[in-house]
Structure 1
Amino acid sequence: MEKKIIWHKVLSNKKELPEGRVKTVTADHKGICLTHYKGKFSALDNRCPHQGGPLGEGSIENGLLRCPWHGWDFDPCSGKPPGSFDDGIDTFPVKEEGDSIYVGLEEEAPHKTTVSDIMVETMVNWGVTKVFGMVGHSNLGFADAMRRQEEKGNLNFYGIRHEGAAAFAASAYGKLTGKPAACFSIAGPGATNMYTGLWDAKVDRAPILALTGQVKTQVVGTGNFQEVDLVQGFNSVAEFNQRVQRDSRHAELMSLAIKHAILKRDVSHLTFPDEVQEQPAKPNSKAQTPEKRITSLEIAPPIEAVNDAVKLIKNSKRPVIIMGHGARAHKEAVVKFAESLNAAVVTTFKGKGLIADNHPLGGGVLGRSGTPIASWFMNESDLLIVFGASFSNHTGITPKKPIIQVDFDPLALSKFHKVDVAVFGEISRTIAILNTELNGEINTINQTEEIAERWKIWKTEKAKRLLETSDKGISSIAVFETMNKLTPDNAVMCVDVGNNAYSFGRYFEPANQDFLMSGYLGSIGFALPAAIGAWTAVGDSRPVVAVAGDGGLCQYLAEITTLVKYNMNAKLIVINNHELGKISKEQRAGEFDVWKTSLSNPNFADFAQSCGAWGKRVEDQNQLESVMKDMFNQSGPAVLEIMADVNLI
């Protein structure tokens, strides 16, 4: 039975292809080299039979069509090579109707399920539905499988401008939701560009899935173009790290990758050789689901640890609770526990906002980016109860006080020094058990009046600092005091690295916002790509606000175009002082000369406008509130540039 020929219009006007010229056109999914030679239009397969060169980008020389990649010649009408060679090109029927040119192709066969289809469907079934990345020559088969899922409404793919931004966006998504998103790249440089963002996710315990293309298996190890041993290269960052093979159990491999990311709160990496991506799936292959594949994580602590913790709490008069990022999913339980103890609650910088500053027991952020309130209560305490914090130097939790540490990760317990009671357990489950065992036998004093008094002292100090002005720019405290007035209470806040972050931690007073930052890695440039990841998690249901310095923003400045492309309702506040101010400060502190920290910046507001976003610059502190209000009233992406004095932080 003859196959049906489908005619496809490939040229609306014959004048678009002059005599003696060639061009690439597409009919259905087929690439065609359309030629115009001696008054005749002809259609040839666009792939040269030798290296796959695009013949439509070649030229007709001396009556022959020349491949642009290696110069092999073919007849521009018949596709035959000169002489006795038999490596000719397939041709297709052509017809002219008026000024239009049509190419006839056999009806396209139905799509056959591929390995990539099975793996992408499995990925979606496990809840990985947000992917950030770039489509390129070594990941096209997998990308096509994602396209099919996106057309079904099961997945969202966000094309970014740099793979590093893709990894940061996926990291931020994981930090905010506790669920993995994926970052996606080609082989070689695309994959290596993701490395920093993957380390950010790893050290901050955010689940993330990295998907990389790879050159064909047959040329691995030969020094092929863009060949990098990605399994070896990702060994140090990925908890799960596998090359997908032709005979792999493909659905199981994807399930294991995502399971590791979720349970280990870590990086999983799969790399896909080019030829495997389009390989037909094995007969009866089916996508997997997470049903009955993940156990409950409500781990109860050992009874001995509970008894020791209860004894310390019963004997305490002035306990202070410290919440870290690891307590994010349990903040309501922790705050209720604090209320039962009348204990002050302070947070690490990564845990900022887990309790509102205006809560009667809220003591702000502890450590270098924090407030004197938090450190005062820690120093006056007789017991520290630490939930989900890691005791980093930046936070400065003192080892000189009795400590109860509760964490889901046994390796995090007593990591840097011995604590009095190390409690391995899921935080909410542990608190429920502590409440039962304490049974109201609590002898703590009510610290709320002291907390209010310490806040009064600190706000008086802030008011004095707000009076400090300069001809060189606006002070950071003025920026964050204005943000305290105008930032929506339910915003997701994405914070960069540098002086802007220190000032943010110290002066911004959280209400019910969530905060995302590059914690342990401390990677400059985090804020803008993090806003992309945050927006994909919350959409327009919550405002997304990013705060960056000029140094950080320039790392991924082009991603403003990503905000515009997807109409992401994200607000970016950039503090521009033309300097890597934190580094200058460190050079002075180390008694070095200040060297190579000055910056030459664009007008960021104008740049944002050129990308299609709202953008304004503020140089006068008296205009700050009105312009910031205008920014928050915008319905799409917006950039507010604030000219600041680097010394007023």
Structure 2
Amino acid sequence: MTDENLDWISVGRTDDLPRGRVKTVTARTTSICLVHFDGQWSAMNNHCPHQRGPLGEGSIEKGVDGKCWIRCPWHGWDFDPLTGKPPGGHEDSGQQMYPVDIRDGEIFIGIAPEPPHETTVTDVMVDTLSNWGIQSVFGMVGHSNLGLADAIRRAVVDGRMRFFGIRHEGAAAFAASAYGKLTGTPAACLTIAGPGATNLLTGLWDAKVDRAPVIALTGQVQTQVMGPGAFQDIDLLSAFAAVTRFSQPVLGSSNHAELASLACKTAIVEQDVAHLIFPDDVQTILSDQKAGAPDGRMSSAPVIPAASEIDKAAGMILGARRPIIVAGHGAIHMRDQIAALAERLDAPVLTTFKAKGLIPDSHPNAAGVLGRSGTPVASWFMNEADLIIALGTSFSNHTGIERGKTIIHVDHERMQLGKFHPVALPVWGDIAAFCDALAARDCKSPDAGNQIPELAERREIWKREKNTRLAENTGHGIHSLAIFEALGRLVPDDTIFAVDVGNNTYSFGRYLETKGSQRVLMSGYLGSIGFGFPAAMGAWAATQDKEDLKGRKIVAISGDGGFGQYPMEFTTAVKYGMDITHILLHNGELGKISKEQRSGEWPVWETDLQNPGFAAFARLCGGHGVKVTDAADIDTAIHEALEHPGPALVEFMTDAELV
């Protein structure tokens, strides 16, 4: 090809490379070893033919023959600095060379025009994922997923996907899990083979046990070295077997569009984890397959509760004097129907922690969270109830639903009904349809009083109790109640909270008053420390993808122990301009564990933490950070953080005993 037909790409200036040196440069996407030797310039293919070692990271050394050679830094293969030929090489051997042109001190390398892109296996599969609605991918680009990463890059360039490069793959899985919990649709997480893949497992277990859809995309070593134990070669199919509902390797002979479609359908329909394994060499195989899509493969079929079950439920409610409603996360999208039924029955509504905010605390029928993270108001009505209408709850032992009570349990998943113990009436069906059917009937007992005035009285007692607690001061830090009282007042009515675990979470569940249409994301059944901030990243991504979530504020809650798990993800949030306000309760210890040691009559041991200044850390990362030591400054600090257009961290120095 003549020089005039080449694309001339600038790769730097002559001052950048001293005589007798080599360096790696990139012309468009071509990796080149640039050489300045003996007053001349040359450019050759950067990959040593042995194992693709980077010649540009090598050096020019004098051989035993007295001649100077470029020496590959990996295994010592030699090449002529100006011709690219090896010692004793034939005329047709050696490195591919590229013409070099120096123009006013600027170095240009001539390369052939970029050929049209040819569709690969991973192009087909990424296009299929996109057609199924996968919009956000969290992960890390690495040596065993480069072909897949390039297919994702093309989707990003086309505006069909977003990619968020994280600092630890565990955070990618937590972010994808939170995305699934919030939207009911999957995000994807991308890793390399070996340790990158195994780092996903904790976050994927979080998704699995909380029934959140996630797509895991893991690189793998080349097929010809799988099995004997090559570098980063582990049996990913076995490693992921327990945590996935669908897990398949992608082979050259696979039906690639079908594999991607089945992964998406499994994640969405089963609300579970689907996993695809991509051997390195398969990723760039050319393909003439067409991308898959959900058309003709999905149905909308809400299960309407049987009329006989509605009749039974109505009869049981008619016979109850003190019915209550307990709403779980499975009922999170039925807030209007649940509120209407509660108002019809003059019944208090208690929520599980995962469903906190389903009915706002400002609603007359709201009794707050039930259980270990709950309020005495909810406990009171649980104790006094003679009928529990449990909607979309899994009866976690942390929630504390009294098993000895008469229970109507409604869920759209049959396996959840009476899962841990028998109930008086299990009802399989859509929760909204159940509530609508009962709200249309006159099924309130004439002997049942109106519990709402009593509820208002119990809430007032709890308010006075909180005011008493606010006065507590041991001189060791701010009371968590003061923080969450202010936060509840100051955040928008549609805030999405991502909470971690520990004392900070118990205080959040107990003290923060929800309003409007707020949502809470948590690591429910897994209860994993470190969930909070990565979950906030997943929630923020969802607000960019989903029209019904756009503009909603994301607030992360954690203690110093939880944030310390993935602190560098704050730089991820800065990189992508994520508008996340992080409320960090810093007490210098794993406070919940200290409390458990004391209550179990163990000595308190190894729960103290050596921490940096987290507010200063946030500023060093490029975000907003402020440290608060005085309760008088709480409102101002939270307000400023909420107003900051990007990642903001408020570090509250708190008392581990005042929770």
Which TM bucket (shorter chain)? over 0.9
The AA in structure 2 aligned to 1:141 is G
1:504-519 pair list within 5 angstroms: 504-512=508-516, 513-519=518-524
Alignment equivalent of 1:532, drawn from 520, 537, 542: 537
Q: What TM-score results when the alignment is normalised by the length of structure 1?
A: 0.97
CA distance in 2, matches of 1:499, 1:514: 20
- Residue matched to 2:178: 172
- 1:108 equivalent in structure 2: 114
Residues 302-360 of structure 1: CA distance to partner in whole angstroms, max 9, x if unpaired? 44433332321222222111001111122222221222222110000111110111111
Q: Of 188, 196, 206, which aligns to 1:190?
A: 196
* Rounded Cα–Cα distance in structure 1 between residues aligned with 2:594 and 2:53: 52
571, 593, 614: which one pairs with 2:581? 571
Find 2:97's aligned residue among 84, 91, 95: 91
The match for 2:547 is none
Partner in structure 1 of residue 332 of structure 2: 328
Q: 1:39 to 1:421 in 2, by over 3 A?
A: same
Q: Which amino acid aligns with 2:431?
A: I
Q: Which moved more, 1:307-316 or 1:214-223?
A: 307-316
Per the alignment, residue 228 of structure 2 pairs with 222
CA distance in 1, matches of 2:355, 2:444: 29
Does the 8 Å contact 2:315/2:443 carry over to 1? no
* 1:557 alignment partner, SS class: coil
Work out which of the residue numbers 443, 450, 462 in structure 2 matches 1:446. Answer: 450
Query: Is residue 2:570 matched to residue 1:556?
Result: no
- Displacement of 1:13 in angstroms is 2.3
Aligned to 1:615: 625
| Structure 1 equivalent of residue 20 of structure 2 | 20
Q: Is the 8 A contact 1:300 1:429 kept in 2?
A: yes
Which residue of the partner structure matches residue 382 of structure 2?
Answer: 378
For residues 618 and 271 of structure 1, the distance between their equivalents in structure 2, rounded to whole angstroms, comes to: 46
Q: Does 1:67 align with 2:72?
A: yes
1:635 maps to 2:645: yes
Overall identity of the aligned pairs, in %: 54
Counterpart selection for 1:499 from 471, 487, 503:
503
For the residue of structure 2 that corresponds to 1:474, the secondary structure is coil
Deviation of residue 494 (structure 1)? 1.0
Report the CA distance between 1:628 and its aligned residue.
2.0
Change (3 A) 1:268 1:11: closer
Task: Give the secondary-structure state (helix, strand or coil) at the position aligned to 1:311.
Answer: helix
Provide Cα deviations, 1:382-434, integer angstroms capped at 9, x if missing partner.
Answer: 11011111111100101111101111211111111100111111222333344
Distance in 2 separating the partners of 1:29 and 1:602: 41
CA contact (8 A) 1:49 1:87 kept: no
Contact 1:3 1:106 in 2 (8 A): no
Q: Residue in 2 aligned with 1:8?
A: 8
CA distance in structure 1 between the partners assigned to 2:106 and 2:488 by the alignment: 63
Determine the structure 1 residue equivalent to 2:460: 456
Quick one: distance in 1 between partners of 2:40 and 2:7? 18
8 Å CA contact 2:584–2:650 kept in 1: the answer is yes
**Equivalent residue letter for 1:633:** E
Bigger mean CA offset, 254-263 vs 533-542: 533-542
> Which of 314, 324, 333 is 2:318 aligned to?
314
Distance 1:23 1:404, change over 3 A: same
Structure-2-length-normalised TM-score: 0.95
What SS class does the counterpart of residue 131 from structure 1 fall into?
strand
Q: SS at the partner of 1:221? A: coil
Amino acid aligned to 2:309: A
Q: Partner of 1:121 in structure 2? A: 127
- The partner residue of 2:250 within 238, 244, 263 is 244
- Is it true that 1:274 corresponds to 2:284 in the alignment? no
Instruction: Give the conservation status (yes or no) of the 8 Å contact 1:10–1:25.
Output: no
Aligned to 1:606: 616
Query: What residue number does 1:432 align with?
Result: 436
- Does the CA-based 8 Å contact 1:13-1:99 persist in structure 2? yes
Q: Tell me if structure 1 keeps the 8 A contact 2:583–2:652.
A: yes
Q: Distance in 2 between matches of 1:37 and 1:520?
A: 63
Residue 269 (structure 2) aligned to one of 259, 263, 285: 263
In the alignment, the residues of structure 2 paired with residue 441 and residue 578 of structure 1 have an alpha-carbon distance, to the nearest angstrom, of 52
Q: 2:560·2:587 contact (CA, 8 Å) conserved in 1?
A: yes
Secondary structure, aligned partner of 2:566: helix
Q: Which amino acid in structure 2 is aligned with residue 47 of structure 1?
A: H
Say if 1:80 and 1:88, in contact at 8 Å, map to a contact too: yes
CA distance in 2, matches of 1:515, 1:61: 62
Corresponding residue pairs, total: 646
User: 1:10 touches 1:26 (CA, 8 Å); kept in 2?
Assistant: no
The Cα shift of 1:4 comes to: 6.8
**Is the alpha carbon distance of 1:267 and 1:4 closer, same or farther for their aligned partners in structure 2, counting shifts above 3 Å?**
farther
- Does the residue aligned with 1:642 lie in a helix, a strand or coil? strand
2:259 aligns with one of 245, 249, 253: 253
Aligned to 1:142: 148
1:10 CA displacement: 3.7
Partner secondary structure for residue 6 of structure 2: strand
Code of the aligned partner of 2:84: G
Deviation at 1:9, TM superposition (A): 3.4
Q: Distance in 1 between matches of 2:420 and 2:3?
A: 72
- Structure 1 residues 248-268: Cα deviation after superposition (integer angstroms, max 9, x where no partner): 111111111011111111101
- Name the counterpart of 1:405: 409
State the alpha-carbon separation in 1 of the partners of residues 151 and 526 from structure 2: 33
**Secondary structure of 2:596's partner?**
helix
Tell me by how many angstroms 1:626 deviates: 2.2
Cα offset for 1:634? Answer: 1.8
In structure 2, distance between residues paired with 1:34 and 1:530:
44
Local SS of the residue matching 1:329: coil
Given that 2:325 and 2:390 are in contact with CA atoms closer than 8 Å, whether structure 1 keeps it comes out as: yes
Whole-angstrom CA distance in 2 between matches of 1:214 and 1:57: 26
Q: Return closer, same or farther for 1:559/1:12 CA change in 2, 3 Å cut-off.
A: closer
Ranges in structure 2 where 5+ consecutive residues have no aligned partner: 63-67, 545-549
Question: Secondary structure in 2 aligned to 1:480?
Answer: helix
CA deviations over 1:121-169 (Å, ceiling 9, x no partner): 1111111101111111111111111111111111110111111111111
Q: CA deviation at 1:108?
A: 1.7
Residue in structure 1 matched with residue 45 of structure 2 by the alignment: 45
Match of 1:543 among 553, 558, 564: 553
Counterpart position of 2:65: none
Residue identity matched to 1:556: Y
Distance 2:80 2:290 in 1: 46
Match status 1:419 vs 2:423? yes
